[in-house]
Amino acid sequence: MKNLLAMLLAMILLLSALPLAGAAFKDGGFIAEEYQKAVEAMSAQGIINGFEDGSFGPKKTLTRAQAAKIICVMLEGEKESALTKTETGFADVPATHWAAKYVAYCVDKGIVAGVGDGKFDPDGKLTSAAFAKMLLVAIGTDGSTFTGADWLKNVQTAAEKTLLLYNLGDKVTTGSMERQKAAQMAYNAKVQAEANADRAKGDSRTMPVEIPETIKLFVIGNSYGNDSSITYLWNILKDIGVKNVTIGTLYYSGCRFRQHTDHIMQDKPVYKYYKNTTGKLVTKTKVTLDASMADEEWTHIMMLSGDSYRGAFEPIRWQDYVISHVRKTQPNAYLGFDMTWAFRADGKHSTSMQKTLDTYYGGDRMKQWESVIATTKDYIETEPRFKFIARCGTAVMNAHTSFLGDGIYRDSTSHLNKGVGRYIATMVVANALTGVTPDQIKYAPDLTKEPPAGIAADTPNLQETLVKIAKESVQNALAKPYEITQSQYKTLP
């Protein structure tokens, strides 16, 4: 296993060095659109080649010998020093066979086995499950259970913990493995290997304790990310002494880590990108995640998921991929997570929000909040590459105990009120980035311009009271990150 992990690291270095000059196949127009990127990447890196006639054969079935070569090139390239053996031990793959060195290598590493009777069946058609089995072992998965009567079930279980089945449906099958799908699965295995290596590398740094001179924050999220970053955060950071402030916020409605993965993998221009360098927002539409992330050398990157609730939380593989991809692009940035909040209490939810509550929490928002806490503890605090957590959710839930109640929200999808709600969230983010406490923040916007629902803007002492509630809610969240603390402001002033 240690040898395989070492080969994975070598493979990643090798693939990054290979030329990206993929061939244009004469039958390229017959490659399904969803597999185009994978075919191009794998052929450009020499992992999956076409045929002598210039075709790729997208719907031809991958053979067992071809699969062995793919695995070898992924792990070792064409290094002669790694492919010295030609004795395979199989009668149908003599030393003179074109694939002998590849088969011998894979047999030696425990990646492939024969079909019985001393044969390998090099021209035999490979199934989806068999290729998945080979790739899983190649990227370091313990394949000891991939034999016997339960081998297929065990391969399925192992594959579900990785990115291997991305873009290929949810199941490994005993059906034939088309070459275009094989390119996708091999690409997925390469990406998973990179994610594994990045997680193993971790991030031993700690956040600076002093307020930095420059903060360039990039937020990868959804509308709750907008609530936490685009309205008051720039002003707060400037107010506490950060000289150079840039905030970039990437928005896609309700976006989950699973969706971010798809958007990155397919380079989809589906995001709205808000950028603030002067105190005013500049907006671009139809941008990709990579293009917007490359816009600056970001000092901090904050993520959040549309499914940051345990009942709806996605397998860790999607989070792992997004983190590793971001770190490859922005290796010097500190990564963090934005903890979100439970839905409104009065039941005035959008159809989709009500469905989420009913499906995962029996309609109980407090069970949803318990899931937010459990998810943050189990998935976020245990993630070694996250250097900060913005406890926005706890602060919002604290404010909900004041006379504001559901007035902390502005709509049926539980977005925060653009006055006190967003002020609370942005103060929390400012604390996560710099350590500044609410009492050190002097900036206070006019929160009566959008008063909480049901409260008149001309209510006496409203501005002063809203600022006090905001700072109290944040301070209590910092003191007790996973507890709701009752506000002292139970009635209108």
Q: Quick one: 229 and 125 in the same domain?
A: no
C-alpha distances out from residue 401 to 396, 397, 475, Å: 9, 7, 14
Q: State the pLDDT confidence band at 309, using cuts at 50, 70 and 90.
A: low
**Domain boundary at 165, 180, 201, which?**
201
Q: Quick one: 286 and 340 in the same domain?
A: yes
Domain assignment present for 279? yes
Q: Quick one: 455 and 400 in the same domain?
A: yes
List Cβ<8 Å contacts ≥24 apart for 4-7.
Answer: 4/109, 4/137, 4/138, 4/139, 4/140, 5/140, 5/200, 7/75, 7/76
Q: What was the pLDDT predicted at 20?
A: 34
Q: What was the pLDDT predicted at 492?
A: 87
Residues 131-153, mean pLDDT to the nearest whole number: 94
Q: Quick one: 370 and 471 in the same domain?
A: yes
Q: Quick one: 218 and 177 in the same domain?
A: no
- Percent of the chain clearing pLDDT 90 (strictly above): 82
Q: What was the pLDDT predicted at 81?
A: 67
Q: Where are the alpha helices (DSSP H) in 330-391?
A: 351-361, 365-375
The tokens describing 310, both together, are 């345990």
The tokens describing 211, both together, are 């307020």
Whether the per-residue pLDDT at 344 is higher than 90: the answer is: yes
> 330's torsion region: left (phi>0), alpha (psi -120 to 50) or beta?
beta
Q: Determine the structural domain holding residue 302 and report its residue range.
A: 214-479
Question: How many distinct structural domains can be found in the chain?
Answer: 2
Q: What is the three-class DSSP state of 1?
A: coil
CA dist 116 and 215 (Å) reads: 62
| pTM assigned to the model | 0.89
> 266's torsion region: left (phi>0), alpha (psi -120 to 50) or beta?
alpha
Q: Quick one: 49 and 79 in the same domain?
A: yes
Q: Quick one: 194 and 261 in the same domain?
A: no
Q: State the pLDDT confidence band at 315, using cuts at 50, 70 and 90.
A: confident
CA dist 104 and 137 (Å) reads: 16
Q: Quick one: 197 and 243 in the same domain?
A: no
Q: Quick one: 386 and 244 in the same domain?
A: yes
**Least confident interval from 7-16, 87-96, 108-117, 381-390:** 7-16
Note whether 102 and 65 are within 8 A (CB): yes
CA dist 461 and 384 (Å) reads: 45
